[in-house]
Amino acid sequence: MIITIVLELYVYQGIPMNPFSPSLINKIKFLGFILALLMLLILFIAYGMSILYTKKNSLHDAIQISSLLNSNTSKLNKYLQQNSINTLTSVDFNLQMSKAEPLITDSLIRKLFEDASIELFTTKNRTLFLLKNENEIYYFQSSNNFLSSRLFPITILATLFFIILFGIYYYITSAFKPLVRLNDNIDHFLKFEEIQISYESATDEIANVANAFYNAIEYNKKLKLQKDMYICSIMHEISTPLTKAKFITYFMENEQDKNKLNALFNSMQEELDKIHELESINTKLSTLKLDNYSLNRLVEDICDVLLLEEKNIEIIQEDVENKFDYSLFIIAIKNLIDNAVKYSKDAKVIITIKPNYIEIKNLATDENSSLDMNRALKPFKRGEECSSGMGLGLFLVNEIITRHNFTLEYNFSDTYHIFKVNFYV
């Protein structure tokens, strides 16, 4: 019964029965389960010992009564009274025998006692004695069975122990529940998933740590909102005069100055568009919309967008599908292909599509122009071959790829820049 209750509690709480799990709460629960099993084992051992002791006592009583039958009646009555043994009539004995079974299960030992004119039987809470002396038959029963008298306090103690054990188990697991929720929320936070903030009402150290984390999340949300508002404000303040300035250039008579200013304003507008795109990407990164897409089709779409001709591209491919956010992943691969063509010595890019990776390779303009990836993957840093822009390309590419749980790998071999996105499928 006890083990059934414990198992039901474990199933109800959805606890993985894994003692080697890194989760501390699972280890504590598994320890509670082991203790419950040990308690059950002790109870069975105590029950078995009680049965053995009962048989031993009954055999001793039967031998004593048999020896006293030949002595005076007063000694027999005194022994029966001291050991709570009553005499029975044959009718009462036969009524009891309908529910009885032999006390001695070993046939050889039972035969030895029968040869000595002693037969013993047991019911649920009584021991019956049948003793023969010369031509007479005597019937007795124990009115206070040892098993019943000893098993009751053992059961009470076991029940109390179980209640105490369960109380300790419940107290410890309840104390760790904020830690479990905190661990789950940290996982959601690292995966850019929505967090349901629920402050802990307890005042212990674990609850304080959890509440501190939730406060940090709230503060981070406020900072993000302020940053978004600040960027929108800056873009608006710059876009308005920039639009007016571009409008004024239409009335300029000097074509050379007009073209220079238009080129400058267009460059500024491109940078503003990149900032807007960066914010859009950051927003999308927080909620990926994953689905199965064809990598071959994605590369075809990119080639169409970049208007690449056959002389500019070589594709080595297999039919491959993978799960990714199309609107984001196309930005990452497009950036890699665009840079490969732009900074290739022969204006050509080689794309290899395999089930576990996509590789983008281009011929370097300088045979010693290997990229410093530690520098290139930092925001606002550019490779040595790049001379324009804000330097957000590879940083954004790596962010998008990492967010998909893929990896970006770079090698420089035989004067070729080689970028590989590993899928690990």
| Domain residue limits, the chain | 1-196, 205-285, 291-422
What are residue 206's phi and psi, to 5 degrees? -65, -45
Give me the CATH code for the 291-422 domain, please: 3.30.565.10
* Conformation bin of residue 134: beta by default, left when phi > 0, alpha when psi is -120 to 50: left
pLDDT for res 297: 92
What are the tokens at 139? 């019937």
- C-alpha to C-alpha distances, 420 to 36, 353, 399, 400, nearest whole angstrom: 54, 10, 15, 14
**Confidence at residue 39, expressed as pLDDT on a 0 to 100 scale:** 77
* pLDDT value of residue 152: 67
- Model confidence pLDDT, tens digit, residues 4-16: 444 444 444 444 4
At 150 the pLDDT is 60
Residues 36, 165: contact at Cβ < 8 Å? yes
What pLDDT, on a 0 to 100 scale, did the predictor assign at position 420? 93
What is the predicted pLDDT for the residue at 284?
63
Torsion of CA 61, 66, 70, 74, to 10 degrees: 30
The CA–CA distances, whole Å, from 144 to 49, 225, 394 equal 17, 80, 88
The confidence score (pLDDT) of residue 357 equals 92
Quick one: tokens of 15? 């606890």
Element spanning 138, H or E: strand 136-142
pTM, 2 dp = 0.47
Residues of the chain with pLDDT under 50: 1-17, 383-391
Q: How many CB atoms are closer than 10 A to CB 296?
A: 17
> Measuring CA to CA, which residue among 320, 259, 248, 326 is closest to residue 291?
326
Pairing assessment for the beta strands 321-324 and 291-294 based on DSSP bridges = antiparallel
* Whole-number pLDDT of residue 389: 42
The first and second tokens of residue 251, run together, are: 């009335």
What pLDDT, on the 0 to 100 scale, is given for residue 380?
Answer: 53
Cβ–Cβ < 8 Å for 104, 114: no
- Rounded CA-CA distance 407/401 in Å is 6
Closest CA to 404 of 418, 420, 422: 422
Phi-psi region of 195 (alpha: psi -120 to 50; beta: other; left: phi over 0): beta
Burial of 392 from C-beta contacts in 10 A (0-12 / 13-18 / 19+): buried
Is the distance from CB of 113 to CB of 119 less than 8 angstroms?
A: yes
CB-neighbour burial class of residue 349 (10 A; exposed 0-12, middle 13-18, buried 19+): buried
The pLDDT value given to residue 352: 92
